[in-house]
A and B are shown apart, each in its own frame.
Chain A
């Protein structure tokens, strides 16, 4: 039987408030959308997803009567990337969220109370500008600090430059392991793997350390499965049974925070069994460099590091042509004994046996031995990690160094199917740098040099008296929320620029409403390079309510300060400047060509997976893989070592009182704290849960669904307990990024550790916040809720 014929009458929604829905009109007046291709009144536009959402998906957006009605993946030139995941799909609602900040706001009541009145843009911008002028005149630009969350498309770096303000965009989070890896391989921000995940199909072994790849990199899941189908053995090293663990060939559960001990044991086994690649180490690493017995520094003649050349029987500069450096032997110069880095490393790891590591990690000794053999002798191998687990520990840098050294010893860097680093967000790719917006040379515009890592601002005396925050930075990016709040209360001015009313907004004096990636005053907006493509944002809908793009806000604030003449007038002006005199991968790509190609083009780059360091040149001082760090000698850390977690260790006396390790892991439902308020997603996962193994819950008298309190000396919060057999006993988890309004009480950052490791300060991006290096206790919450 066929459908009866129906006529649809469009109804006006003009009378319906956004975010609420009155009764639908009578049956005969149903609203129906239709495919834009069938209806010339509809419009299609292209944009892409915010920067921290796992991989920069490009979207095809359908608009009807000025409203977003459909989101699909844009078609990429490389079709494998034509994807959209649940976070992208949820934008259709999130754009119109009842959490939208509709107008500029001014605080009434105490800072942190979250009470505001609506004011005009002119009043808001004038208030901010006047205060900034006053502070700059009295205390200098360094008294002003600008910070954007990683979900922000257009950080206000230009404004910071012209004010001479302090500005940092990557501090304290996602930079722990990479700080260590940088010491070994010169890896850049976030420590991306050398090879793209599209190269995993050529790997024989992949170790995923605390990496829930199938949740955090959904749009790269296909490459995980391609590797499996090609016969790769994928091993999950994770305390708990994650989604990714379920799809791996092997699971190794270890005590949280002990990953470095495991890697040190693998290094030990590589030495014991001579599984290292001698020729590779000789040519490409500092293994043959010589450590002085007296001051532990590397031996130099003049300003050149030396190696012992077998051919000439003498010291030679490490980069002299034709030399054959020795990896072992007895050497001396001017009465000082010299030892090769290789021999010193072997000696350093001599006691890091599988038996030693087994005691620390609680992984059986034989499992460790087998793992070492699989990794070292199984063919091209990858060590990869995520940022939600092992990165959030006080000593995370040691893991990066140890993993880098392990990969180097076995010749797995600059190798097809090899690699070491962070696996998420599809970070590795062909390099396509943009030019900048030209600055007048005579004005001396420059941001102030950061006086300390920004994570220290709540903890140490500093110059900052005003902060301008884009995004949910203050809650997402600082541990120990009570200390953060105390710091903010002392400031002269807190400005928050955001789309939604989240936790950070509550601390503001002035709130400025900004746009999502779908709204703009302009025809086009930002540029981004990812997955070997370049993307531009097209206007999808007009800014909602009184929101403005960050670009527009920056420009208007600059105008109030008399500085707007030095900024681009439109995003397109900025994009043209960025694409001028293009780097080779960008040749032929312009604003016009992007518009003609659905706002996405592939870079001029080879079709094969990106693999850095295939030429064995590294962004280290010596241009080689550096197994030994002179910079860290003051911390007695020329080589990495395993160290017990700073707080979350059973050896800590505090463990008696707070015996549970607290994790805030990443999840498929959020990117940091973005999407916490996406109602399409909270339809599936309604609220934060305290995930705990029933074995830990039982002696605490907890039943599934009970309201519980998680607490330590720093603070507490309340949420429902969920019986989670996946959790390793001794650990609990609340996934990262829930806004405090979703908790029954408190905020998950009330309990987290914000101690900065002194060894982190010299590292490329400073110390990491050890959110997961936290001990707590859990009890049933008093009173019914």
Chain B
């Protein structure tokens, strides 16, 4: 059976440290002005916003990156086939084909795509990590660290998480860590009612 790579993120463990965001940035050569992975709080848009009024407060962090949907709207709307689902279940972008029409950005209900409006600026002024640099006018997003995962390594965000909140593996393998975690904890898929079938599951 073909692999279906996916991930679980334990929101009881996530402490909003943003290490996954910067680990991703480094590994994937993400330029300034964008992040492939952001950490949201349910209290509001500012970083680390709590919900409620003192002392009746609640705060929870949710890392958000491409959910690598099995039924991905971005794949469907791409007029040139630049966005595609690979044999292991990753949703990827062929940067050579991308014409920058941004239909995929509009189609994605999770708001996880970013666009190179200008020539990318990197600080420091050289490339880093393992992913090729993308030029002005193309879309970018999480690739499940394809340069790593295609060599059997974990995505960088999983490797660097100090709270060990993330697990990565094959959702089609019932014995994988991710499959076990979903059975035990009942993983939540974001906007499940939209039928996109995300392969990233949140454990609450």
Contacts and interface: CB of A to CB of B under 8 A. Distances in A.
Interface residues of A, number: 70
A695 B160 contact: no
B22 A221 contact: no
A728 interface: yes
A70 interface: yes
Given A30-B133, A92-B124, A221 B162 contact: yes
Contact of B57 (A32, A89, A725): A725
A250 interface: no
Interface string B84-98: 100000001010110
Contacts of A725: 43, 50, 52-54, 57
B130 A33 contact: yes
B129 A69 contact: yes
A67 B127 CA distance: 9
Contacts of A20: 125
A117 to B, nearest CB: 26
Contacts of A6: 96, 132
B154 to A, nearest CB: 12
A90 B22 CA distance: 7
Interface string A194-220: 000000000000000000001100110
A34 B27 CA distance: 10
A221 B32 contact: no
A706 to B, nearest CB: 14
Interface stretch (A142-150, A411-419, A677-685): A677-685
A251 B133 CA distance: 46
Contact of A683 (B13, B32, B97): B32
B164 interface: yes
Contact of A70 (B57, B128, B160): B128
B46 interface: yes
Nearest to A5: B96
Interface string A718-742: 0000111111110000000000000
Contacts of A34: 130
Interface string B6-25: 00000011011111011101
Given A96-B125, A683-B35, A241 B163 contact: no
A19 interface: yes
A86 interface: yes
Contacts of B132: 6, 8, 30, 32
Contacts of A18: 124-125
Contacts of A1: 81, 84, 94
A695 B53 CA distance: 9
A330 B11 CA distance: 59
A607 interface: no
Counting chain A CB atoms within 10 Å of each CB, the highest count among B17, B23, B33 belongs to: B17
A92 B81 CA distance: 35
A172 B21 CA distance: 35
A559 interface: no
Contacts of A33: 29, 127-130
A84 B160 contact: yes
Contacts of B94: 1, 3-4
Contacts of A8: 132
Interface in B132-162: 132-133, 135-136, 147, 159-160, 162
Given A83-B162, A84-B160, A680-B25, A218 B17 contact: yes
B122 interface: yes
A108 interface: no
Interface stretch (A21-29, A347-355, A494-502): A21-29
Interface of A: 1, 3-4, 6, 8, 13, 16-21, 23-24, 27, 30-35, 67-73, 83-86, 89-90, 92-93, 95-96, 214-215, 218-219, 221-222, 225, 241, 243-244, 246-247, 251, 253, 668, 679-681, 683-685, 693, 695, 704, 722-729
Given A70-B130, A251-B55, 12 more contacts: A19-B124, A24-B136, A31-B133, A35-B147, A69-B129, A70-B26, A85-B19, A215-B15, A221-B163, A225-B163, A246-B15, A727-B54
Q: Shortest 8 CB-CB distances between A and B: which pairs?
A: A96-B124, A21-B125, A89-B22, A214-B15, A218-B162, A86-B19, A32-B132, A86-B22
Interface of B: 12-13, 15-19, 21-23, 25-27, 29, 32-33, 35, 43, 46-48, 50, 52-55, 57-60, 81, 84, 92, 94, 96-97, 119-133, 135-136, 147, 159-160, 162-164
